[in-house]
Chain A
Amino acid sequence: MVHVETTAGSSLDGLFKAEGIAIIGASSKVGKPGNKIVEYALELDFKGEIYPINPGAEEIMGLKCYRDLEAIEGKVDIVVVVLHSDDCVTAAQKIAQRKDEKGDISVVVVVSGGFSERGDEEGREREKALLEPLMSRGIRVVGPNCQGIIDTYQGINTTFDVGKYKKGGLSVITQSGAFAVSYLMWADPLGMLGLSKFVSVGNMRDVSAIDLLNYFADDESTKVIALYLEGANEARKLIETAAEVSKKKPIVTMKAGRTELGGRAAQSHTGSIAGSFEMYKGAFRQSGVIQTFNVPEFYHTAAAFSKMPMPKGNRVCVLTVVGGPGTLCVDELITSGVVELAKLSEETKSRLKEILAPTANVGKPDGYIDMTGSVSETLHKEVFKIVLSDKNIDGVIYLTTPPAFLDEELLAKNIVSAYQSFPEEERKPVLSVLLYGFSVAKGRRIMEDADMPTLDYPDTAAQVMANMIRYSQYRSRNNC
């Protein structure tokens, strides 16, 4: 393992409160990562200065281009390095030199790969040579081998794949740039996510998941933290940190490596059975981290936490227009082991029976309402109001196709209006499954824009609701 002496402890403020960003390896050639980085850096409303560095260009995207770091007169907080790996070490020395002279650089984001992730001695040595001059000066390093950072509120963006993005409460920490960027891009067309901060930590040699969890815990615009994890050297410290952060805001994680072999030479049953994935699983439960086990569950759980209030209990109502998916949803809720189907109040039952068709099923089994296909757009509004005011219900999963004879936009507006008729402190989590998926994108977009999460699959919705309940239980048993 690479070991570098560090004067650690410097805050990450330099990362998220930057005034000047220099991009070494900025390119005027369309189709190069160094070109996209400049383009996307400009797309967010960054108030500071962006300094492209390339000795061969006069200007890039209308910005003055500098021949080297030395030539920049203004304050530089972040330096983005997007060079061939061979050239990164020299760049690091130049950065160190400027730090000694001007004292301004606090963070370096190394986008380039070709370091320890190669798994060979050459890569490790190069990484050491890259990090030493930076970390010995207290400069924080993100990466190498990463997509860099985004802060939608400060308008900072060093990635080459994500352009302008909707602001919101989700912050992302990821050991895979591709996985997390895919999440953002997947969610974008329907507006399913609002982003606060994004950090692709790459090889995670300095700025780590632990640093970022601590930072996001106190970050006002972060409501939920999504963490994609492959492995951490300081696993115990990570868990201890997460246990504290989880008392303030939810951490949703996807952990890779379920099928990794333990490979431990053990003399006990315990030793031979204990794989790292299983230990992570137990440790996550212990520390309130919500671990998800499939990709849609991860995507939607983090999205739901970013938009919805936490459930106050575990009593769930399944409100459906369609039988089969409703049943699948109930199956998955029960399987979770944490959900109880809500016992509808007598008032709710009688009011619903009054307005729904005689064929509708109200409360068989407990907490299950099948409105049948006859329910109109406006009737949806009435039903939602009744269900959401029932004190016996802590959360609602609504399922519909919706049928083609309804106007999906009108339907969405009615649901939103019913939801928003409650003051914020009385709102409960509602997950809406629109089974026709992208075919009803217009209706979904309306709901998402009103911060009502929509999903495609009934079982995923059940998993997400169960996850919200698990988190709420962690909070209540820690009295916070």
Chain B
Amino acid sequence: MGYREIIERAIDTGREVLPEHEAYQVCEEFGIAYPPTRFATTREETVEAAESLGYPVVLKIVSPAVVHKSDAGGVIVGIVSQSELKDAYDLLFANVKEKVGDVPIDGVLIQKAMPKAAEVVVGGLKDDLFGPVVMFGSGGILVEIFKDVSFRLAPLDRDEAMRQIKETKAYEILKGVRGAPPSDLDALADLIVNAGKLLSALPEIKELDFNPVFAGSDGSVVVDARMVIGS
């Protein structure tokens, strides 16, 4: 399914937030890297998917009613075996039921765990005044507290994205601290550029979060993607 169809279907079905795995399909078309990911609707499919991806894996809930997945206990990381996976599957559903109640659930995502790297955020939005805008900064769930972010109008080129990166404190971490290797800044800048292209090309996407992005020494991977549809 192409990204146009994905967005049209979301609009037709009245969804405001694209399911995560569909958001990745949109990423695909704009050269934005994400981990090998499978969507499953049953426990058996989940096990099959994990076996084919190889452990360790991450399990995530897919539900239009759960916007902030980690707040709802809807993300379980570091699953290293089939037995852990089966337990995690039950725990995931129990968590969500406890935190948000009986809500419709589409299924789960099984995602290959990515090697640890500096965590940053790449975001974007359609602003009433500025049009498409991209954001870069320190990632994680505290992004709204620390606000170590910097903005640019999209589209933009790699040099501009590089200057945007360098304006933040996150840059100090990306240079490599405490023995960690420096991140591949060109790859990260390209990801920002591509996020800008995506926003400029798809007027229906109102807001965009890639949070976190793992900015590794050999490339940048989006490990969680949220795309909000709106007019």
Interface residues of A (CB under 8 A from B): 232-236, 239, 266-274, 276, 278-279, 281-283, 285-286, 477
Does B131 belong to the interface (CB within 8 Å)? yes
Q: Is A268 within 8 A of B129, CB to CB?
A: no
Does B127 belong to the interface (CB within 8 Å)? yes
A residues near B159, Cβ cutoff 8 Å? 477
Bound complex: CA A283 to CA B226 (Å): 24
Q: Is B123 within 8 A of A269, CB to CB?
A: yes
CB distance from B219 to the nearest CB of A (A): 22
CB distance from B126 to the nearest CB of A (A): 10
Bound complex: CA A353 to CA B144 (Å): 54
Bound complex: CA A196 to CA B129 (Å): 31
Bitwise interface map of B from 6 to 46 toward A, beta carbon under 8 Å scored 1, else 0: 00000000001100000000000000000000000000000
26 intermolecular pairs with C-beta atoms under 8 Å apart: A266-B228, A267-B17, A267-B207, A268-B208, A268-B228, A269-B143, A269-B144, A270-B124, A270-B209, A271-B228, A273-B123, A273-B143, A273-B147, A274-B127, A276-B129, A281-B150, A281-B151, A282-B151, A282-B152, A282-B153, A283-B130, A283-B152, A285-B152, A285-B167, A286-B152, A477-B159
- Would you call the interface of chain B mostly helix, strand, loop, or mixed? strand
CB distance from B172 to the nearest CB of A (A): 11
Q: What residue of chain B has the Cβ atom nearest to residue A274's Cβ?
A: B125
The contact of B207 among A239, A271, A477, by CB within 8 Å, is A271
Bound complex: CA A272 to CA B228 (Å): 13
CB distance from A213 to the nearest CB of B (A): 17
Does B220 belong to the interface (CB within 8 Å)? no
Bound complex: CA A239 to CA B16 (Å): 30
Besides A233-B129, A282-B164, 13 new A-B residue pairs in contact (Cβ under 8 A), listed by A number:
A234-B129, A236-B129, A239-B153, A267-B16, A267-B67, A268-B208, A269-B123, A274-B127, A274-B135, A276-B127, A278-B149, A282-B150, A477-B159
The contact of B125 among A234, A236, A271, A282, by CB within 8 Å, is A271
Report if A236-B123 is in contact (Cβ < 8 Å); known contacts: A269-B209, A285-B163, A477-B159. no
Q: Is A272 within 8 A of B144, CB to CB?
A: yes
Bound complex: CA A232 to CA B127 (Å): 13
Does B121 belong to the interface (CB within 8 Å)? yes
Bound complex: CA A234 to CA B151 (Å): 18
CB distance from B142 to the nearest CB of A (A): 10
Bound complex: CA A287 to CA B98 (Å): 50
B residues near A285, Cβ cutoff 8 Å? 152, 163, 167
Q: Is B144 within 8 A of A273, CB to CB?
A: yes
CB distance from A432 to the nearest CB of B (A): 30
Q: What residue of chain B has the Cβ atom nearest to residue A473's Cβ?
A: B163
Interface residues of B (CB under 8 A from A): 16-17, 67, 121, 123-125, 127, 129-131, 133, 135, 143-144, 147, 149-153, 156, 159-160, 163-164, 167, 206-209, 211, 226, 228
A residues near B133, Cβ cutoff 8 Å? 274, 279, 282
Bound complex: CA A279 to CA B130 (Å): 8
Q: Is A236 within 8 A of B130, CB to CB?
A: yes
Bound complex: CA A293 to CA B150 (Å): 16
Bound complex: CA A32 to CA B153 (Å): 47
Q: What residue of chain B has the Cβ atom nearest to residue A232's Cβ?
A: B129
Q: Is A270 within 8 A of B135, CB to CB?
A: yes
Q: Is A270 within 8 A of B125, CB to CB?
A: yes
CB distance from B194 to the nearest CB of A (A): 16
Q: What residue of chain A has the Cβ atom nearest to residue B131's Cβ?
A: A236
B residues near A268, Cβ cutoff 8 Å? 123, 125, 207-209, 226, 228
Q: Is B160 within 8 A of A286, CB to CB?
A: yes
A residues near B135, Cβ cutoff 8 Å? 270, 273-274
Bound complex: CA A285 to CA B166 (Å): 12
Q: Is A236 within 8 A of B153, CB to CB?
A: yes
Q: Which among A270, A272, A281 has the greatest number of chain B C-beta atoms within 10 A? A: A270
B residues near A282, Cβ cutoff 8 Å? 133, 150-153, 164
Bound complex: CA A375 to CA B120 (Å): 53
Bound complex: CA A311 to CA B167 (Å): 22
The contact of B151 among A266, A269, A272, A283, by CB within 8 Å, is A283
Bound complex: CA A233 to CA B128 (Å): 9
A residues near B143, Cβ cutoff 8 Å? 269, 273
Q: What residue of chain A has the Cβ atom nearest to residue B164's Cβ?
A: A282
A residues near B144, Cβ cutoff 8 Å? 269, 272-273
Bound complex: CA A278 to CA B163 (Å): 15
Report if A239-B125 is in contact (Cβ < 8 Å); known contacts: A268-B208, A282-B164. no
Bound complex: CA A233 to CA B127 (Å): 12
A residues near B151, Cβ cutoff 8 Å? 274, 278-279, 281-283
Q: What residue of chain A has the Cβ atom nearest to residue B209's Cβ?
A: A268
